[in-house]
Structure 1
Amino acid sequence: MKTINASNENGARVIFKSILLFSLLLLFLFPIKSFAANSIVSGRIKGLTNDTLFISLSAFDSNGKAVYESLISDTLVMKEGWFSFEIENDYFTSVNIIPAGGTAKISRSGIFSAYLSDFIELFVDKGEKITVDANYDGKVIQYTLKGSPLVEMYSDYRNQLFEYQRKRFDALKEIAKLREAKEPIIEGQSMLKAAMDPIRRITSDFIENNLNSPITPHLIYTNYYNDTEAIVAYSIKLGREALESPLAFEYKRYLNYAQNSDKYKREAKIKEDAFRALNGKTAPDFSLRTIDGKELRLSSLKGRYLVLKFWGSWCGWCLESMPKLLEYHQKYRNNIVVVAIACSDKEDKWRNTVSKFKMEEFINVFDIDNSVSKQYNITEYPTYVLITPEGTAEPIDGYDIFKRLDQIFGKEVVEFL
């Protein structure tokens, strides 16, 4: 049978329809020779029949070089709403399937602009077989993916959005109609806000609840592309599995750019200098709710040594050091009070972690909007601030807090191992 190939200088190809029988015989006769394990993407799109689909592929080699030079890798024509194609390369690949007759706009140069609901997005690794069950109603393409834990998790997330993406479509249409009629667009803007707020909330909740998922860096990159502060802030929250995922490539590239930009360096130095400048000054006062719902004002604890620990249930280093802090709290229980300040957290996760690590002997407070973290110019976690009985602050890095407590109270220094 005839095959339709789209090739580039790296030899990556998208092969539509089927593989020649001769190729299958070669694989059978010469099993020792290394061949690329083809991935298969197939499925149907209800609402479309013999429409053309644009296929966009994105992959990077081990050196970070793009495997595909053009954004649109090839096209295919569906048959009665069904399609199937194969991807032959050795790389994890992001795939976008864009109906030519849909709402996505594609320029002659191959660049397309669209909302996420205007096309099908999926991810495929070497040898995987991904199936798509989609429906296009003229507003959004709603779809379910099967074939790997990664695409199924992504599919579950996307399926939470479709209801609000339809409302966004209606809102944008209403705004366009009002503008054409030269009438106020307030009603349309209200409709758009009612659609966008749940979309942002669902995405934010997914990110916060899946900080170690391979999908999460991709969602952070695509949703916070213009928010350098958020891109950098998430870098200390993401787990190892997330950061080592192929989907983290573009996020890490942008993160590197952000962290090395002159603006970021200036802002980071300003915050670091402000944090260090606390040394010897009166600790800023604040008021937060404790885990049992009481109001805590920092100044009410004056007269004893205080250890403020800025931490989060999402922070691996914070949790690793928690047993040591509990040990030191017992060691110097007559001398210090530990105030554990949870930052950038979810309340249920915070409460569960306090219980899991048996932190009830601390004063546990929740910095729900990070106002105290910002007040103290905290940029890394965990971070400690030691406060004297007179209310004077001493910023301390990481595990140095344990040595400092031993120095103050004249006990033998215990190294953290």
Structure 2
Amino acid sequence: MKIFAIAAAVAAALGISAQAADVNPVMVVKTAASPDTIKFLVMTTAPDELKPDPENRRQLTLLPGQTEAVLSPGETDEEPLHYLLYQQTPRGMRNVGDIYRAPGQTITIDLSTNPASVSGSPLMDNINTARESLAPGMNAISEAVKARDEEAYNKAVEQTRKAAVDFIRSNPSNPGSIELMNLLSSDEINVAEMIKPEAKEDINGPMYDYYLNRLKAEQQRKIQAEKVAPGKPAPDFTLPDADGKMVSLSSLKGKYVMLDFWGSWCGWCIKGIPQMKEQYERLKDKVYFVSIACNDSKQAWTAALEKYEMPWIQLWSDPDTPAAESVMTLYAVEGFPTKFIIGPDGNIVNKVVGEDPSFYDLFDNLK
């Protein structure tokens, strides 16, 4: 009680009412006692985003024997936030869970139970209920992975997807249904559209549009995949280069075009740059090389251009472009790198997904 009194006094001195002061812990993480030190990383983002701000990170540490870690409120916790909790393991950071919290709430994540439970707000209770509906399928997935049984794994994935569909259909007013939309396929947009307006009124409500747009983009990619097969006309697009000049595919005439969908975050893409430089020098008289950076911030993209010094046409696909309108959807890109060869007539000649050193041999057979 003394701690809360001090916090209230400080709030009053700052002109903040004691009622408004967020003196409650943000998060309590519970685990079973361990002989080892356990470290967690907490990152936050806006409620309508999945990608956290890497600059805004906090660490929780449980020393050997400790079973509870507490995250105290900071300035960023004064707004409703989407929290992402990661546990440090020998294999890297493991995503423990996504948590939504309003100011003043204390969210408790109990990792000592199986499955883990999250409590502390009506929203997280609803999300818990939704996630619990998936438990049989998720447990079956874990068992299949341990057994390295691909057939059992595929069945378990389908079981989990069906459980998500059933929950949404039965609970269209539950905001927890929004959390299960990421398990739907593009053939189930009608299921997503069953979710009622009242389910979108809580902190996670903005995620409804995010997931729905993603499903529509996936559906569009399936349609586009048939349109970007060899022999089909290459869809035109216009994107900015590093100087801000807008470049259209249709402006590149008289030569073959090699479209390279890549990202500075993509290890295989970076690994392929030295060979691409060699092949550019060999083929530049008859082939336009065009690299399109995807899922990169403008800052990360320009930094990569400076670092890797790629002398061919460099374009940027703004990651804030709605998925259904992006060049990645236009070309049905699902993996990186993805490369297309486009003929002087504007038709697609070939498509290769992944870093394949033999890709450039395809040009030797072109007239």
* TM-score normalised according to structure 1 size: 0.43
Q: Which has the higher contact order (CA 8 A, sep 6+)?
A: 2
Higher Rg of the two aligned structures: 1
